[in-house]
Structure 1
Amino acid sequence: MDSFDYIYNHMMGHCIDYDANYPNEFAKGSPCDMLAEEIFAARLRLSRILDQNESGESEDVMVIVKAYEQMLQFLCQRAYEHGRAESLSE
């Protein structure tokens, strides 16, 4: 796992082990946790409207959610790379 993946996975809450340098930004009650709950609730509402589906798994809604997740990871990767390049050039 490269350094970006290590940091990203810890901050996203994907790791079991804890690293105080890169805390889980999705810990219960955190701003990211609350935003994720809002997103999930909206997903359920949209699924009910679009597909009369209670699972929150509307195909179109999931395309949007997954695309935003991938875009977020891409932007985080680029920000990390730019920051690392800046710190190495100093």
Structure 2
Amino acid sequence: MQSDSNILQIDNLSKYFGGLAAVSNCSLKIKRGSITGIIGPNGSGKTTLFNLIAGNLKCSKGQVLFNKKILQMYLLMNYFPEGY
């Protein structure tokens, strides 16, 4: 596998709670070996996005691919929240 390939790819990801869009049509590609940060104001969907990537929430729309595999089918990640 090439070292410049995407390790994480997010395609048109959305998460709705009732009628409220917490994440709306988010797409991004993260290259293998890169360091990426997500920044934004309170309530902008950062934690929801992380929970979607980690598989703790089900996507309303879109998909997350880890190493070119749909993450919901091959859940390979987990995390410990702050203060755990």
Q: TM-score band (shorter)?
A: under 0.3
Structure (1 or 2) with the greater helix fraction: 1
TM-score (norm: length of structure 1): 0.25
The structure, 1 or 2, with the larger RCO (C-alpha pairs under 8 Å, 6+ apart) is: 2
TM-score (norm: length of structure 2): 0.26
Structure (1 or 2) with the larger CA radius of gyration:
1
Structure (1 or 2) with the greater strand fraction: 2
